[in-house]
Amino acid sequence: MAESNFFSEIFLFPLWGKMAPILATATETGAEPEMVLAGVLLSLVAIYIASKAGGEFFSWLNFPPVLGELVGGVVIGISALNLVIFPESGANSSSSVIINILEATAGLTPEAAGATFQAQSEVLDVLAELGVIILLFEIGLESNIRDLMQVGIQSLIVATVGVVLPFVGGTAGMMGIFHVSAVPAVFAGAALTATSIGITSRVLTEINRLNTQEGQIILGAAVIDDVMGIIILAVVASLAKTGEVDLINVVYLIISASVFLVGAILLGRFFNDGFVFFAEKFKTRGRAVIPALTIALSLAYIGAAIHLEAILGAFAAGLVLDNLDQKEVGRELEELIRPISDVIVPIFFVTVGTKTNLSVLNPAIPTNREGLVIAIFLIVVAILGKVICGFSVFGLGPINRLAIGVGMVPRGEVGLVFASVGSASGALSPALDVAIILMVILTTFLAPPLLRVVFGQAEEVPETSG
């Protein structure tokens, strides 16, 4: 790259290139640990600048900051600047601007570039995962388990309707209208099912609606449909691979998910007492945060190990650490988890943005056009299916059913998991793959402002009628 050489000549760094092999000990994969660290540092700088530039700009526009963080991610990601990109998008190290900067300024050798890019991406992926784990833990902490139990039956209905409608609508439409064969049609339908709890819950927190009845129903339904979504994903992926559904697997997954969630809640008292016992005894720094994180990461591990989701475990951990504001260590925890969340959660949202490839939107490329038409269909089904599910809430009086439906719209990271698994299994045609990604992008980007609008309306209603 011309600019890179220019930089290195201007700053007279050529000899550092020679020093690198002396100072670095290569790992088995050929990545230089010093270069991996340098790449992660530079990526984090880009991610933090993008998160604050986007977040503050959107906040100034009166949009949710989380949307700005996503857009900031899109700007530095695969769609525009190519600063923070990931190998699973098909990018290689030579298209990563960070890797080019490392080669120009830090003496990364071209031979080690591929392995360093791979290792750096693995680290950033885990940091983003830790970000969404901490996010869900914090949300769990802020949620009240009794409130969630009260709306439990409503959440279950909303989740079930919100899974069945888009799944049936999507699959039938793909087969009936677009004449897609059964397996990819079922995959497309399945990709419409799971709500992204992360994005909705952060927006709800930002507009101070998390602890409303609507917020709790959305949260509960998002948790439930996440579990349903993962089960459907496993079933559909095995269908795509073998052509048949392994019923024993399905039964095992359903049982393990139920045992895990119910078990975590039943053991809540034990975790809670354990946390308070240790945190009150401890005298050194991090006395409240470390025991709490240990519980959160343990449950996240169990969630990941049994092939549910790590974030479900983290959410369960936050949920069971309850009634904390009556204890000093509890208030300490709720206060101290915020700055930790402030630095790690943006990594998740910006990373989702960086992986969003807007070039699939370009209708000038013929292969995109079929995808665009299918995408429009999927987006309509995705939004309608979830919006309608909000109206399945019964007997709660003046509740904002539209807001509940809208809250279930964003597919976010869960939808992207569907797209990547489907793409990897070979079941999806490129057009269908593009269409699913478009559905994920648009539902994710539309939901936060829509959620503000529909909740804003609800807020004004009592004022007008009062």
In whole angstroms, how close is the CB of 101 to a copy of itself at the nearest point? 9
Q: Which of 55, 166, 410, 412 binds a copy of itself (CB under 8 A)?
A: 55
Does position 420 interact with a copy of itself (CB under 8 A)? The reply is yes
Q: Considering only the C-alpha atoms of the chain, give the largest distance between any 2 of them, rounded to a whole number of Å.
A: 75
Q: For residue 356, what is the DSSP state?
A: -
Residue number, 31 or 404, with CB nearest to a copy of itself: 31
Does position 297 interact with a copy of itself (CB under 8 A)? The reply is yes
- Sequence-separated contacts (24+) of 400-403 with Cβ below 8 Å: 400/214, 400/454, 400/455, 400/457, 400/458, 402/454, 403/214, 403/218, 403/451, 403/454, 403/455, 403/458
In whole angstroms, how close is the CB of 141 to a copy of itself at the nearest point? 14
Residue number, 56 or 111, with CB nearest to a copy of itself: 56
- Contact positions with a copy of itself (CB under 8 A) in 25-44: 25, 27-29, 31, 33-34, 36-38, 40-42, 44
3-class secondary structure, 430? helix
Quick one: which segment of 99-107, 191-199, 262-270, 455-463 binds a copy of itself (CB under 8 A)?
99-107
Does position 284 interact with a copy of itself (CB under 8 A)? The reply is yes
Q: CA torsion sign, 198 to 337 to 323 to 302?
A: positive
Q: Which of 2, 15, 247, 364 binds a copy of itself (CB under 8 A)?
A: 15
Does position 179 interact with a copy of itself (CB under 8 A)? The reply is no
Q: Which of 247, 248, 366, 397 binds a copy of itself (CB under 8 A)?
A: 248
For residues 102 to 121, the per-residue mask of contacts with a copy of itself, x marking binding by CB under 8 A and - elsewhere, is x--xxx-------x--xx--
- Contact positions with a copy of itself (CB under 8 A) in 307-346: 307, 310, 336-343, 346
- CA distance linking residue 204 with residue 199, whole number of Å: 9
- Contact positions with a copy of itself (CB under 8 A) in 221-240: 233-234, 237-238
The answer to whether the beta carbons of residues 348 and 152 sit under 8 Å apart is: no
Does position 7 interact with a copy of itself (CB under 8 A)? The reply is no
| SS3 readout for 130-189 | HHHHHHHHHHHHHCCHHHHHHCHHHHHHHHHHHHHHHHHHHHHHHHHCCCCCHHHHHHHH
Return all residues near 87 (Cβ < 8 A) that are at least 6 apart: 117, 118, 121
In whole angstroms, how close is the CB of 424 to a copy of itself at the nearest point? 5
Does position 4 interact with a copy of itself (CB under 8 A)? The reply is no
The answer to whether the beta carbons of residues 271 and 317 sit under 8 Å apart is: yes
For residues 343 to 372, the per-residue mask of contacts with a copy of itself, x marking binding by CB under 8 A and - elsewhere, is x--x--------------------------
- CA distance linking residue 108 with residue 21, whole number of Å: 9
The answer to whether the beta carbons of residues 355 and 86 sit under 8 Å apart is: yes
Residue number, 118 or 143, with CB nearest to a copy of itself: 118
Q: Which of 74, 210, 264, 289 binds a copy of itself (CB under 8 A)?
A: 289
